[in-house]
Amino acid sequence: MSKVSYRPSKILIADDSPADRLILQSMLQRLGYVVVLAEDGVQAVEKFLSEKPEFVFLDVIMPNMDGVETAIQIKEKAGDDFIPVIYLTSLADAPSLARCLSAGGDDFLSKPYNPIVIEAKIKAFSRMREMNQTLALQKNLIEKNNRHLIQEQNVAKQVFDKIAHAGSLKLPIIRYYMSALAVFNGDVLLADVSPTGSLMVLLGDFTGHGLPAAIGSMPLASIFYGMVNKGFGMSEILREINNRLNQTLPMGLFCCATCFDISFRKQRVLVWSGGLPDSAIYRGATRTFERITSKNLPLAILANRDFKAEPVRFELSAGDHILLWSDGIQEARDRQGKMFGEQRLTSILERGLEASAVFDDIIGEVQAHIGEGERDDDVSLVDITFPDAELGAQMEKKGSKGRGCLQDWSLNFRLESSSLRVFDPMPLLLHITSEVPGLRQSNSLLFTVLSELFNNAVEHGVLGLQSSIKQSAAGFSEYYRLRKEGLENLPLGSWVMLEFEHGVKHNGGLLTIRVRDSGDGFHPTNKTTSGDTQHVYHGRGLTLLRTMCESLVITPPGNCVEAQFRWLHEE
């Protein structure tokens, strides 16, 4: 804050009496002020504008324009700047004095002038002027900061809206109401159809409103949409969201949420709820509600190792609805501060209404309850219709269309000597299979399968190593030393070829992996029959392959192995 000078440097005197003008001028000059003179009101306003005095003495009765009118004009031209105006007068009647002050003058100075009184008045009003300037500066600063904040919030909101509304909230089966307290809503509603055809919906309520809540919404929305799009299951998505929020949000900021995974084909919904009020399933046939109660802590509170993302399953049929809301419904207050409450909500649910009427009644009655009062929480209500088979099939298609993920495909990948020596194909291959929605969940099994197949081809095929070397612990090390040495000196003309074919099947897919190599073939010895497993360091790979794959065919002479790996969507 800039330092405000305590003393006015320049003072304007407007008086038509030349003797009085001279006396006051002399007094002020003796006190050390620069004095500007005017002989009437018109001149006074002109001098005020041109000389910019910081203090004004005005005679009340002057020719051309009287002191009262002059004061009005000077005050108006000064704007937010506080310019003290002191009337010079020998008027004595109260109505005249009152008129002077109401016109914007600040005080009177009576005749004969007294230098001590004059100096005291100047000092008093200068202090006032200083306070006024400090206030004005602070006001400007606050206004500037506020403008800046709103501008920032608007930019942030554009980013937020892009992320938060990336999904399928416009689906005909979703109806929702969300009120906003601030630029940002503390409630966040996300919905999208996954490539597997499931409709994933998440309603979250962050502690707090505005920017702090929106900050949490950003990673929430981006993880949700990113993972739903790639076909991750609800548990994985919730675990990832919980993990990220737990790591990034400050203590005390968390997110109450309910998440639904609605499968149109399987006619079921999986629900996970943490901290939000009950949601409800509306049975179209009986017009009754089943409550779904939250059994978990909100997101962002538990570290991931303690976090349980186990959903509850409900069967659904056409005409059923899922209704979910944030605590803003029950906690909506009327002007007396009384909450809408659980009972009012329950009574609406128990009226046996048509589903759309339930939605209308809740919103209508909550709004009527709040009236003109101030809302103190975000109010959100979501209604999802479980559609008939035909509409359900249409919804499912929204998921797989144009998302750029792999469905049916094949791939031939051949590694020549120079690549085999140095290149590890596993990360690349897993990266490709990860592009298949749902197959990603099987990545760790698939790694084992691919690794066994590829290493068999390299070690037994291309390098011709015998498993029997691994009879002892020392042999185990020797085996891998030989493998390393063999690869370093790999002759030209060696190769390993990996062929993939993937087809989407009911509830999952089938990946066929064929691995050929340039070797002479190998004879898979049946696993050592001895029960003494502890000294055998080999022979487990094929067993693993046989258990994990639907089929495994080794074509003689053993340099072509075909495995079929079937995977299912996570339930």
Q: Which of 348, 356, 328 is nearest to 175 (CA)?
A: 356
Q: Tell me: cis bond preceding 112? Omega within 30 of 0 counts.
A: yes
Do residues 234 and 261 touch, judged by C-beta distance below 8 A?
Answer: yes
Place of tokens 């005017």: 38
34-38 and 10-14 strand pairing: parallel
Q: What is the DSSP letter of 32?
A: T
Binder of another protein out of 288, 477, 525, 555 (CB under 8 A): 477
538 binds another protein (CB under 8 A): yes
CB of 23 to another protein, least distance (A): 5
The Cα–Cα gap between 504 and 408 comes to: 6
Tell me how crowded residue 33 is: count the other CB atoms within 10 A of its CB: 21
DSSP assigned state of 112 = S
Options 265, 375, 483, 566; binder of another protein; rule CB under 8 A: 483
* Residues 241-270 close enough to bind another protein by CB under 8 A: none
What are the CA-CA distances from residue 450 to residues 424, 469, 487, 562 (Å)?
12, 23, 19, 11
Q: Is 448 in the site for another protein (CB under 8 A)?
A: yes
Closest to 55 measured CA to CA, from 42, 69, 32, 66: 32
Residues 5-64 that bind another protein (CB under 8 A): 16-20, 22-23, 26-27, 30, 59, 61
Q: Residue 371: CB partners within 8 Å, gap ≥ 6?
A: 334, 335
SS3 131: helix
CB nearer another protein, residue 156 or residue 426? 426
Q: How far is the CB of 80 from another protein (least distance, A)?
A: 33
Q: Are 329 and 379 in contact (CB under 8 A)?
A: yes
Choose which of 141, 310, 535, 555 interacts with another protein (CB under 8 A): 535
Which SS3 state, helix, strand or coil, does residue 28 take?
A: helix
Among 372, 374, 390, 424, binds another protein (CB under 8 A): 424
Both tokens assigned to 236: 């994985």
Q: How many helices (H) and strands (E) does the chain have?
A: 15, 20
Confirm or reject binding of residue 547 to another protein (CB under 8 A).
yes
* Shortest distance (Å) from residue 452 CB to another protein: 6
Q: Is 121 in the site for another protein (CB under 8 A)?
A: no
Cα 445 to Cα 441: distance, rounded to the nearest angstrom:
9
**Count of CB atoms situated within 10 Å of the CB of 359:** 21
DSSP H or E run through 295: none
Name which position in 533, 551, 555, 557 contacts another protein (CB under 8 A). 533
Residue 117 to residue 256: CA distance in whole angstroms: 68
One symbol per residue from 296 to 335: x for binding another protein (CB under 8 A), - otherwise; what is it? Answer: ----------------------------------------
In the complex with another protein, which residue's Cβ is closer, 185 or 442?
Answer: 442
Which residue number, 162 or 540, has a Cβ lying nearer to another protein? Answer: 540
Binding of another protein by 568 (CB under 8 A): no
* Residue 239 is a binding residue for another protein (CB under 8 A): no
| Closest approach of another protein to the CB of residue 485, in Å | 14
Residue closer to another protein by CB (options 87, 340) is: 87
**Which pair of structure tokens corresponds to residue 106?**
């600040």
Q: Which among 36-44, 88-96, 132-140, 342-350 is the span making contact with another protein, rule CB under 8 A?
A: 88-96
Closer residue to another protein, CB minimum distance, 2 or 534: 534
Q: Kindly state the tokens that stand for 326.
A: 């944030």
Question: Is the Cβ–Cβ distance between 545 and 449 less than 8 Å?
Answer: yes
- Our CB check for another protein shows the closer of 382 and 561 to be 561
Tell the smallest beta-carbon distance from residue 451 to another protein (Å).
4
Shortest reach from residue 454's CB to another protein, in Å: 9
Q: Which is nearer to another protein, 212 or 475 (CB)?
A: 475
364 binds another protein (CB under 8 A): no
Q: Supply 569's token pair.
A: 């969507």
DSSP output for 503-552 = EEETTEEEEEEEEEESS-----PPPP--S-GGG--SS-HHHHHHHHSSEE
In the complex, least distance from residue 107 CB atom to another protein, rounded to whole angstroms? 17
90 lies in the site for another protein, by CB under 8 A = yes
Which range of residues in 49-57, 106-114, 225-233, 279-287 is near another protein by CB under 8 A? Answer: 106-114
> How many Å apart are CA 324 and CA 69, to the nearest integer?
66
Q: Which two tokens stand for residue 558?
A: 């053993």
**Closer to another protein at the Cβ: 102 or 547?**
547
Taking the least distance from each CB to another protein, the nearer of 386 and 565 is: 565
Does 564 sit near another protein (CB under 8 A)? Answer: no
Cβ-based burial of 548 (10 A; exposed 0-12, middle 13-18, buried ≥19):
middle
Give the strand pairing for 85-89 and 55-59. Answer: parallel
Residue 303 in 3-state DSSP?
coil
Judged by beta carbon, residue 39 or residue 377, the one nearer another protein is 39
16 versus 499: smaller Cβ distance to another protein: 16
Nearer to another protein, 136 or 445 (CB): 445
Nearer to another protein, 22 or 155 (CB): 22
Name which of 314 and 447 has its Cβ closer to another protein.
Answer: 447
d(CA 507, CA 349): 36
- 235 touching another protein, by CB under 8 A: no
Out of 434, 455, 471, 528, which residue is the one contacting another protein (CB under 8 A)?
455
- Within 141-180, which residues bind another protein (CB under 8 A)? none
The verdict on 443 binding another protein (CB under 8 A) reads yes
Name the CA radius of gyration of the chain, rounded: 41
Residue count, binding to another protein (CB under 8 A):
49
Binding site for another protein (CB under 8 A): 16-20, 22-23, 26-27, 30, 59, 61, 88-93, 111-113, 115, 424, 426, 443-445, 447-448, 451-452, 455, 470, 473, 476-477, 480, 483, 533-538, 540-541, 543-544, 547
